[in-house]
Amino acid sequence: MAILAGVVIGLGGYTFAICFENMVLEGWITEKMFDCFYAGCVPVYWGAPDITEFVPIDAFIDMRAFSGFDELRRFLHALSPAEVRLRVHNLLETRFLHLALQEQNRQLEERVRQRTAQLQRRTDELERARIEILERLARAAEFRDDDTGLHTRRVGHVSGLLAEALGMAAPEVELIRRAAPLHDIGKIGIPDTILLKHGRLSPDEETVMQTHTVIGAEILAGSDVPLLHLAQDIALTHHEQWDGMGYPNRVTGEAIPLVGRIVAVVDVHDALTHPRPYKAAWSHADALAEIEEQAGKKFDPDVVRSFRELCRRMPLEVLTDHAILVGAPA
């Protein structure tokens, strides 16, 4: 359709060309206009070929105000073509500025999103690095009295399985699996003369050895990272006992965090079944029997029960296999 006067009026989805000089309206569309009289306000836009959006005029033309085509034509005849063109031009300029502002805002939002994502990635990388450093520190401490360095990984691996057997949710199981290897990180502060001593410790030496729980908790303290907060609880409480005879705070029963009760069982079982400078390794059967004997004394009876069922389903010889641990995530 030719643009006779550079101005186009759209009604109800139809487009009409207006020639202000002689008021010629394209005849083939005239009959459609009367169907659109009650469509509401008339949007107006500049009739350049590359313009595809209607831009509302600031003073709308309400088609309901006209009783018929003659009255509409008289109204249009009274309009100043120059004023209409100027208004349309101004409205288009406003529209283009609005679109430009929208695009600028979109680009700004995208840059903020990218920077936020970048900052989050860096934060995550720093937290991963922090956790990895602590894990390596724990393994370094473990190498001092375990020449394989696998005790911490075995405790983490089996603690995760035991947490799952106790019905804990998958995210909690994963946290325990990652946090449990840090249970003995406080041993980094225990002198070699005590940590590597062959034979029983004296009462004074035993007192020093027990401080590894507090040292470990202090190393892990002050973090908002859930994994490290959980590791702090484990480090502090994995030597507490169900009957209150443990250390460092002689906490009893369910007042001991569940993660501490879980790691207590797994840690003792692993320590019994592997050689140390001061003892030979026990068999898995003897170690399990000792764990069951201490249920209700040193250990949570429910945790011991789940541990026994876990051992029946998956023998600990399989669960702690060296090849499995080498392939398991650290």
Confidence class for position 147, pLDDT limits 50, 70, 90: low
pLDDT one-digit tens code per residue, 182-235: 999 999 899 989 988 888 899 999 999 999 999 999 999 988 889 999 999 999
pLDDT of residue 268: 96
Rounded to the nearest integer, the mean pLDDT of the chain is 76
Interior angle at CA 169, CA 303 and CA 139, nearest 5? 70
pLDDT of residue 6: 33
Q: Is the dihedral of CA 108, 110, 112, 114 positive or negative?
A: negative
Who contacts 108 (Cβ-Cβ below 8 Å, separation ≥6)?
none
For 164, phi then psi, to 5°, come to -65, -40
Taking residues 4-24, report their average pLDDT. 37
5: pLDDT strictly greater than 70: no
Q: How far, in Å, CA of 208 to CA of 10, rounded?
A: 89
Helix axes 69-78 and 27-35, enclosed angle (nearest 10) = 110
pLDDT of residue 148: 56
pLDDT of residue 139: 74
Neighbour count for residue 58 (Cβ, 10 Å) = 10
The single-letter DSSP state of residue 191 is -
247: pLDDT strictly greater than 80: yes
- Of the candidates 227, 188, 223, which has an alpha carbon nearest to the alpha carbon of residue 209? 188
Neighbour count for residue 248 (Cβ, 10 Å) = 15
Taking residues 119-139, report their average pLDDT. 83
Q: Are 265 and 246 in contact (CB under 8 A)?
A: no
> Please, what is the end-to-end C-alpha distance for the chain in angstroms?
72
Q: Are 223 and 235 in contact (CB under 8 A)?
A: no
113: pLDDT strictly greater than 80: yes
Residues of the chain with CATH 1.10.3210.10: 144-327
Confidence class for position 34, pLDDT limits 50, 70, 90: very low
pLDDT of residue 37: 32
Q: What is the CA radius of gyration of the chain?
A: 39
Interior angle at CA 14, CA 12 and CA 16, nearest 5? 120
Interior angle at CA 192, CA 188 and CA 196, nearest 5? 110
Confidence class for position 330, pLDDT limits 50, 70, 90: very low
pLDDT of residue 145: 67
Taking residues 43-54, report their average pLDDT. 35
Mean pLDDT lowest among 21-25, 59-63, 258-262, 268-272: 21-25
- Of the candidates 154, 173, 151, which has an alpha carbon nearest to the alpha carbon of residue 162? 173
**What distance separates the 2 farthest-apart alpha carbons in the chain?**
116
Mean pLDDT lowest among 32-46, 159-173, 205-219: 32-46
pLDDT of residue 269: 94
Q: Are 23 and 77 in contact (CB under 8 A)?
A: yes
* Tokens describing residue 243: 């009957």
Question: Between 66 and 224, where is the model more confident?
Answer: 224
Question: To 10 degrees, the CA torsion angle through 316, 148, 325, 232?
Answer: 90
Confidence class for position 128, pLDDT limits 50, 70, 90: confident
Q: How far, in Å, CA of 97 to CA of 157, rounded?
A: 61
Q: Are 248 and 216 in contact (CB under 8 A)?
A: no
Mean pLDDT lowest among 28-42, 121-135, 155-169: 28-42
Q: For 144-327, which CATH superfamily applies? A: Hypothetical protein af1432 (1.10.3210.10)
Confidence class for position 45, pLDDT limits 50, 70, 90: very low
pLDDT one-digit tens code per residue, 277-314: 677 889 888 999 999 999 999 999 999 999 999 988 87
Taking residues 260-270, report their average pLDDT. 96
